[in-house]
Amino acid sequence: MGFKKLALAAAVAAAPMSALALEPMQDEALSSVTGQDGISMSITTNVTTDLFIEDTDGHAAIGTAGANAGFIAVQGVNINGQIDIDIDAASAAGTNGVGGALVIGIDLPNLTLSNLNIGVSGSDATNGERVAVDGLARVTAAKAGTITNVVSLGDITLNNLGMDIQLGPDAANFLSLSGAIGDIVITNFTLNDSSAAGGGSLFADNVLIGGMDLTGTTASITPTGLSLSIATAGGSDIALMGVGMGTAGTNPIGNVYITGLNLNGTTVSISGH
């Protein structure tokens, strides 16, 4: 009997809560409710990688044999920072089975690329060779041999860079940039002349690019390659500190300043050949 009374008391206590759960929300309560479709991701990254680009048809101007393949080697890249990604789908038509676009929004609050070295090496690839396993074997052989660095960068820091990548028939552009990057800082820049007639470097202790706002810059991949349309709000200032030529780090000429640089309306096309 006592157990029945306990069960009855529990049911009576729960009844108001059950009724409350079924009551419709009033306008005041609904006004504070928000929602967001799509997918959001936040990534804190610490990536180390090497990138090799193999030009299999070479260039006839190099050496007496000419037209032999070669590697562009980007080595020792370390990427640190935060990447925020939003993925959405939308359409201009708003009709089933028509149009549509995939929109990927990427925000880089702070990102640093460290120890970036760009070098070159030969390759024994034949013109147009496309066998992946053989290509990776050539990369391994290049790493085991000699890769000559032609450009060295200490750190590159990017702040507050935003971009939208759009794919689909309703996309206006493949890539759209927004917002000011803040200051881009490059430390320990060297451009090395390793040719038979050279042996010295063009160097700078650090490079500062300030005031760059790329809002409105767009890119599209056309049948002939990548087309980049640059928009800049205002002008950028560039400071190259400790610039010199010769043996890197010794006897610099001084400092070089470029002010009010405006690239608005500049277009860049990139394609293979």
CA–chain centroid gap for 237, Å, is 22
- 228-267 pLDDT per residue, tens: 998 876 788 999 999 999 998 888 999 999 999 888 889 9
Whole-angstrom distance, CA of residue 166 vs CA of residue 261? 29
pLDDT at 23: 52
DSSP string, 228-249: EEE--SS-EEEEEEEEEEESTT
Phi, psi for 213 (deg, rounded to 5): -120, 115
From the list 107, 109, 119, 133, the residue with the least C-alpha distance to 41 is: 107
Output the six-digit token pair for 209. Answer: 């690019």
pLDDT at 11: 46
Whole-angstrom distance, CA of residue 212 vs CA of residue 158? 11
Q: Which three-class secondary structure state does DSSP give residue 132?
A: helix
Domain map of the chain by residue range? 106-117+145-271
- Segment 149-178 shows an average pLDDT of 86
pLDDT at 233: 67
Higher-scoring residue by pLDDT: 3, 214: 214
> What are the residues whose beta carbons fall under 8 Å from the beta carbon of 254, sequence distance 6 or more?
242, 243
What percent of the chain shows pLDDT beyond 90? Answer: 47
- Is it the case that residue 117 has pLDDT exceeding 60? yes
CB 220 within 8 A of CB 173: yes
Whole-angstrom distance, CA of residue 259 vs CA of residue 246? 26
Whole-angstrom distance, CA of residue 37 vs CA of residue 254? 54
Q: Classify residue 185 by its DSSP letter.
A: E
- 4-43 pLDDT per residue, tens: 444 444 444 444 444 444 455 555 554 444 456 789 999 9
- 46-97 pLDDT per residue, tens: 999 999 999 999 888 887 767 799 999 999 889 999 999 999 999 998 899 9
